[in-house]
Structure 1
Amino acid sequence: MRKTLAELAAIFALTLIAPAAAEDVKAGDLVITQAWTRATPNGAKIGGGYLTIENKGTTPDRLISGSGDVAGKLEVHEMSMDNGVMKMRALDKGLTIEPGKTVKLAPGGYHLMMFDLKHPLKQGDKVPVTLEFEKAGKVSVSLDVQAVGAQAPTAGDHSGHGDHSGHMDMKKM
């Protein structure tokens, strides 16, 4: 019995040290990985969502919108610099994922914007959202909640994927 309790304690300790990574999600020709968000302070009404989308098909698809019980509204956004001024805008026509390409939604670039958060996002939680694609349709994804100010997911990192150029450091999103 003691050995079993010790083994259980060790397994429990390991789960505290290395949080589970977001599951890869396949939808049609798309593979969605590294779905995450940041913890928010009490009273925060907005949050960002980040993920990587790879199109393994031969035709483009488009991320049109999203939804989730966590927020009143979820939009696809782009952040950019224009003559030294940071600009953020909703992508009303969505975000195209070309065939054979990978698009990374990350701080300082493309991202999901969650408005009217219904409760704070707490580190270690998972936030279910539904993404809507033009061809792949509605896809359920869980965002792993990382620390406030995180710049990338801490577990299951595939940092070699996608183009990281042109991203700004936006720790307060």
Structure 2
Amino acid sequence: MFSRHALMLAATGVALLTACGSPAPAPAAPSAAPAAATASVAKLTITDPWVKTTKSGMTAAFGTLVNNGDAPITIVSGTSPLSKAIELHEVVESGGKMVMRAKEGGFVVPARGTHQLQPGGDHIMLMDVTEAVEPGAKISFTLQVQGGQPLEFTAIGKDFAGGKEDYQPGHK
């Protein structure tokens, strides 16, 4: 029923399919693979981190925390060589006044979401800063993540006069 020509074509196809299943010779090593192609995406990042300039006393850090993961991430504490003590703060109304206080439970960044750190809202409070923060200064931070890897980043010193914030002792 099949012609000799059709049988030869079928046999050639089987031979080609069999060759595809056999191991190929190892490819030559790429000269330089882009780092982004091999690095995994971090679940927690921060965009536009900055620190309000100050001569001494207290100041605060801001930015946008970004969660690229499928579960919420909770920031429970932080450290920086700029400060002897750091607290995660929020600004809330109390007795008709806006007051700063420690954020109970830390900052929760929703899955596939963001959490704003901004003047007049949630922020990273730095008490007893060890040196002046000038515009353009680079300040390193480490935020501790509940049950996860810490987030390390550098924030830039920035002048800011908006919102009437005064992150100095005795501020009410």
Aligned partner letter, 1:144: I
Q: Which runs of 5+ in 2 are unaligned?
A: 1-39, 168-172
**Structure 2 counterpart of 1:157:** none
1:172 aligns with 2:151: no
Deviations 1:42-98 (A, max 9, x none): xx2111010111112111110111011111011110012235211211124211111
TM-score by length of structure 2 reads 0.68
Runs of 4+ more than 3 Å apart: none
**Structure 2 counterpart of 1:52:** 64
Aligned mates of 2:87, 2:98 — CA distance in 1: 18
Greater share of residues in helix: 2
Residue of structure 2 aligned with 1:107, choices 76, 99, 119 = 119
Aligned mates of 1:125, 1:49 — CA distance in 2: 12
**Structure 1 counterpart of 2:107:** 95
Q: Which runs of 5+ in 1 are unaligned?
A: 1-25, 152-168
Aligned partner letter, 1:123: P
Deviations 1:81-118 (A, max 9, x none): 23521121112421111112211100000000001111
Higher gyration radius (CA) = 2
Aligned mates of 1:35, 1:81 — CA distance in 2: 26
Whether the 8 Å contact between 1:70 and 1:119 is mirrored in structure 2 is yes
Whether the 8 Å contact between 1:76 and 1:113 is mirrored in structure 2 is yes
Whether the 8 Å contact between 2:46 and 2:66 is mirrored in structure 1 is yes
Write the mapping of 1:10-159 to structure 2, written as runs, cut at 5 A. Answer: 28-41=42-55, 44-149=56-161, 151=162
Aligned mates of 2:138, 2:96 — CA distance in 1: 35
Number of aligned pairs? 128
